[in-house]
């Protein structure tokens, strides 16, 4: 039964994407390259997140009884899909989006009962951070969908190891939807995920990772999500710090994200995506291995490999940037 539903999720996302492209043109959800930070030169529809999130939500309900936690996570992601679509159409302000993100995170975290007190505050902040982190990396054809596919896959493995079947199932559905969407989003992109895609995907990933922080006792395994989402987190905080140090708003867009820097060093867009997806795999593998004490020896080896990958990326940027 699960295999049939999984195939349905992939097929629905694949079939829905051309329809969403046509819809985006009709409702004006189109990305116009009006500034130098854009990587494209043509008008591109940008509401592709609809074709990602709706199949995931439908697949979860078709798969059987949805837990209360997963229901809250899906409702929050659905709200971010609606808010993001409004932004794709009307360009909402950064503070307006942050307000809606915070409200959705508060409702989802408190409604799910995943955390209380100070832990709930941390959970809300974590979900908002991942929502924005995935919005920040959505600046190159195929990058968001590719990295989200990897992150969701790693989350699914971790939840399977922990015995969280329904959460793992939701993560796998997200993998399949992102894979189908990426067939239209890879370079040269026919459609962008848009804010409705990056924010809803980031929100859902944030919620699905919260149980990894909820272990009865603190251990090194609680660091797992930090490694799985290391790339978008590093890009988010480095971007905010860079802008603040230059006296600019943390929400002021620029062309200095990691994918921009790799592209400026001479790599093509597909090569940039491959590099950053490789970094996501290597760092995320460390996160998966940290979840079990029996795997910590392998995690140390994976950590060395990840460090070498990051050093190679840094060396390439420094050597080739004029």
Residues 164-185: tens digit of each pLDDT: 999 999 999 999 999 999 999 9
Amino acid 217: pLDDT: 47
- CB of 155 closer than 8 Å to CB of 171: yes
Determine the pLDDT at residue 37: 64
Evaluate whether 251 touches 94 at the Cβ level (below 8 Å). yes
The tokens of 248 are what? 């600019």
Nearest to 124 by CA among 105, 104, 144, 103: 105
Q: How confident is the model at residue 215, as a pLDDT?
A: 60
- 55 or 296, higher pLDDT: 55
Chain Cα centroid distance, residue 86 = 19
Rounded distance between C-alpha atoms, residue 270 and residue 189, angstroms: 11
167 touches 211 (CB < 8 A): yes
Owning domain of residue 233: 2-320
Cα(189)–Cα(280) distance, integer angstroms: 21
What are the tens digits of pLDDT across the range 182-240? 999 999 999 999 999 999 999 999 999 999 987 654 578 788 999 999 999 999 999 99
Inform me whether the pLDDT recorded for 2 exceeds 80. yes
For the ranges 41-50, 177-186, 237-246, the one whose mean pLDDT is highest? 177-186
Q: Which region holds residue 163: left if phi is over 0, alpha if psi is between -120 and 50, else beta? A: left
Number of domains in the chain: 1
Token pair 């969280």 is found at: 164
Residue 321 confidence (pLDDT) above 90:
no
Q: What's the mean pLDDT when you consider all of the chain?
A: 92
Read off the pLDDT of residues 75-119 as tens digits, 9 standing for 90 and up: 999 999 999 999 999 989 899 999 999 999 999 999 999 998 999
CB of 265 closer than 8 Å to CB of 256: no
Q: State the burial class of residue 322 (Cβ atoms within 10 Å of its Cβ: 0-12, 13-18, 19+).
A: exposed
Q: How confident is the model at residue 322 (pLDDT cuts 50, 70, 90)?
A: low
Angle at 257 (CA atoms; ends 252, 261), nearest 5 degrees:
135
CA distance 110 to 220: 26
């Amino acid at each position: 039964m699960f295999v049939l539903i999984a195939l349905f999720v992939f097929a629905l996302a694949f079939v829905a994407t051309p329809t969403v492209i046509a819809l985006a043109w009709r409702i004006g959800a189109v990305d116009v390259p009006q500034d130098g930070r854009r990587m494209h030169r043509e008008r591109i529809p940008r509401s592709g997140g609809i074709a990602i999130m709706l199949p995931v939500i439908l697949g979860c309900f078709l798969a059987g009884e949805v837990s209360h936690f997963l229901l809250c996570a899906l409702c929050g992601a659905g709200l971010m899909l609606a808010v993001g679509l409004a932004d794709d159409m009307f360009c909402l302000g950064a503070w307006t989006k942050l307000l809606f993100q915070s409200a959705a995170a508060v409702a989802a975290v408190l409604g799910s009962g995943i955390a209380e007190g100070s832990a709930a505050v941390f959970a809300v902040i974590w979900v908002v951070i991942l929502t924005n982190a995935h919005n920040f990396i959505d600046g190159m054809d195929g990058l968001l969908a590719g990295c989200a596919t990897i992150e969701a896959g790693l989350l699914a493995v971790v939840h399977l190891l922990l015995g969280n079947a329904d959460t793992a199932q939701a993560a796998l559905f997200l993998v399949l939807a992102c894979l189908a969407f990426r067939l239209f989003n890879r370079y040269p992109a026919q459609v962008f995920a848009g804010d409705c895609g990056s924010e809803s995907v980031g929100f859902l990933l944030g919620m699905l990772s919260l149980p990894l922080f909820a272990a009865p006792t603190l251990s090194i395994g609680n660091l797992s999500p930090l490694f799985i989402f290391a790339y978008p987190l590093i890009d988010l905080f480095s971007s905010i710090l860079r802008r603040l140090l230059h006296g600019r708003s943390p929400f002021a867009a620029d062309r200095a994200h990691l994918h921009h820097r790799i592209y400026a060093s001479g790599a093509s867009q597909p090569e940039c995506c491959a590099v950053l997806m490789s970094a996501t795999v290597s760092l995320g593998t460390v996160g998966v291995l940290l979840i079990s004490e029996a795997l910590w020896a392998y995690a140390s080896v994976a950590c060395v490999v990840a460090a070498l990958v990051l050093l190679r990326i840094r060396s390439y940027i420094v050597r080739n940037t004029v």
